[in-house]
Amino acid sequence: MSKGVIVWLTGLSGAGKSTIGGELLSHFHELNLNAELLDGDEIRELLSKGLGFSKEDRDLNIRRIGFVARLLARNGAIAITAAISPYREIRDEVRRLASLDGVRFVEVYLNPSLESLIARDTKGLYRKALAGEISNFTGVSDPYEPPLNPQIEIHTDTQSVEESVELIMKYLQSEYLIPCSVENARTASY
Amino acid sequence: MSKGVIVWLTGLSGAGKSTIGGELLSHFHELNLNAELLDGDEIRELLSKGLGFSKEDRDLNIRRIGFVARLLARNGAIAITAAISPYREIRDEVRRLASLDGVRFVEVYLNPSLESLIARDTKGLYRKALAGEISNFTGVSDPYEPPLNPQIEIHTDTQSVEESVELIMKYLQSEYLIPCSVENARTASY
């Protein structure tokens, strides 16, 4: 009945949340740890179909992701979330509720420069947002409130996916939130 | 990384889903097992605020409960659901999806007679529904499709809560889905 942990990835569209979240999930599974990736877009389809991108709807969506993450973590799994989660108040609310469950909330701020995101723009969304074709686009026409005291901050414009994943894994190990090796993971689960 | 199980309680309003679900949860926790009760009313507030009681909205709500139950169970926890879940098709869909995750779906049909529910009517809902004051009330003005092959069927008008819980616990033990005693549970988790 040991607790899991919430690894909360936050940052703008294109910051690397889904990619890094997916890599983390593979690493946790290699360590034989129970883990889930709650990806913003997927979860929206499953839990929040019909909700839009107003502050109220975004808050509701993030609260739902937070609720599911807490359920998983208080039952021993690692819940990785990969959603923009632009508002500080709601992230802090999830942290408080997790704490009541005895679950650690590790906030990971993926923080590439906005310029680098606009320059790369793999999905062409920034171009559209800057042209006014998408309203409520976080970082352009909608606010993003950066974490004030994230456990980890990564400049994903200059740090690679591998480096980013290693930073997060090392942090979790140093806080004894995950075992240090497959061997230890096996020992710990028996 | 062993799998959990979904204990899916289904039945009309007043059939005993929340009560029996709560008792099961206590029993699982006494056995040191990770478990959650996903209660229909609570989950509606958290995951499905704004949805109504049309077939479409009910289906969406049950799919969300099913999704969360699967996430929990595939990460080793026991997910107990206590929602009317009136439509067979959606229950069977959750069972199929759980099976893809390697998770057992135990359907428990709580089946008191409608007459007994109307006679007891602890919340006064049947009286209102029969008077036409509540529309879309399952069993009165909205359909309930009973399971065709439930793993367990309990006539909760004649069987007590204790008997019902014991039937479910014994079934789960006989299928090796939970350990038989606290001692075994402790051994199994080390």
Q: What is the pTM of this model?
A: 0.93
Q: Are A170 and A108 in contact (CB under 8 A)?
A: no
Name the residue among B27, B131, B24, B137 with its Cα closest to residue B81: B24
One-letter amino acid identity for A49? K
Query: Using one digit for the tens of pLDDT, what is the confidence trace for A42-62?
Result: 888 889 888 888 999 999 999
Contacts of A63 in chain B (CB under 8 A): 46
How far is the CA of A168 from the CAs of A7, B21, B149, in angstroms? 9, 38, 47
B1:A189 CB<8 A: yes
Query: Using one digit for the tens of pLDDT, what is the confidence trace for B128-168?
Result: 999 999 999 999 999 999 999 999 999 999 999 999 999 99
- The pLDDT assigned to A164 comes to 98
Would you list the DSSP string of A175-189? TTSS-SSHHHHHHHT
> Is the pLDDT reported for residue A142 higher than 70?
yes
**What percent of chain B lies above the pLDDT cut of 70?**
94
* Cα–Cα dist A187/B16, whole Å: 42
> A8: part of which helix (H) or strand (E)?
strand A5-10
Q: Are B81 and B8 in contact (CB under 8 A)?
A: yes
Q: Are A83 and A17 in contact (CB under 8 A)?
A: yes
- The pLDDT assigned to A190 comes to 38
How far is the CA of A59 from the CAs of A62, A90, A181, in angstroms? 5, 7, 37
**Regarding predicted confidence, which is higher, A48 or B105?**
B105
- Look up B85 and say whether it is catalytic: yes
**Average pLDDT for A117-125:** 95
Contacts of B33 in chain A (CB under 8 A): 1
CB-CB: which of A34, A36, A63 is closest to B1?
A34
* Cα–Cα dist B102/A181, whole Å: 26
Name the residue among B33, B13, B6, B8 with its Cα closest to residue B134: B13
Please, what is the average pLDDT of chain A?
A: 93
Interface residue ranges in chain A relative to chain B, Cβ cutoff 8 Å: 1, 32-36, 46-47, 49-50, 60, 63-64, 67-68, 71-72, 75-77, 189-190
For residue B8, the number of C-alpha atoms closer than 13 Å in the C-beta half-sphere is 32
Place of tokens 């529309």: B135
- The pLDDT assigned to A179 comes to 86
Q: What is the ipTM of this complex?
A: 0.91
- The pLDDT assigned to B180 comes to 78
> Is the pLDDT reported for residue B98 higher than 60?
yes
Query: Using one digit for the tens of pLDDT, what is the confidence trace for A72-98?
Result: 999 999 999 999 999 999 999 999 999
Q: Which residues pair with A6 in a beta bridge?
A: A79, A105
CATH number of this structure's domain A5-113+143-188: 3.40.50.300
* Shortest alpha-carbon distance between residue A17 and chain B (Å): 20
**What percent of chain A lies above the pLDDT cut of 90?**
84
> Is the pLDDT reported for residue A144 higher than 60?
yes
CB-CB: which of A32, A34, A68 is closest to B68?
A68
One-letter amino acid identity for B97? L
Residue B110 DSSP class: E
Q: How confident is the model at residue A160 (pLDDT cuts 50, 70, 90)?
A: very high
Measured in degrees and rounded to the nearest 5, phi and psi for residue B183 equal -55, -50
- The pLDDT assigned to A186 comes to 53
How far is the CA of A72 from the CAs of A9, A142, A190, in angstroms? 16, 30, 21
* Cα–Cα dist A120/A97, whole Å: 36
Q: Are A110 and A151 in contact (CB under 8 A)?
A: no
* Cα–Cα dist A117/A119, whole Å: 5
How far is the CA of A24 from the CAs of A71, A94, B151, in angstroms? 19, 21, 38
Q: Which residues pair with A82 in a beta bridge?
A: A9, A39
Domain spanning B5-188, CATH class: alpha beta
Q: Catalytic positions of A, please? A: 85
Name the residue among A76, A75, A50 with its Cα closest to residue A64: A50
- The pLDDT assigned to B73 comes to 98
How many other CB atoms are there within 10 angstroms of residue B89's CB atom? 10
A67:B60 CB<8 A: no
Q: Kindly name the residue from B85, B113, B135, B174 that is annotated as catalytic.
A: B85
Query: Using one digit for the tens of pLDDT, what is the confidence trace for B36-91?
Result: 999 988 888 889 888 888 999 999 999 999 999 999 999 999 999 999 999 999 99
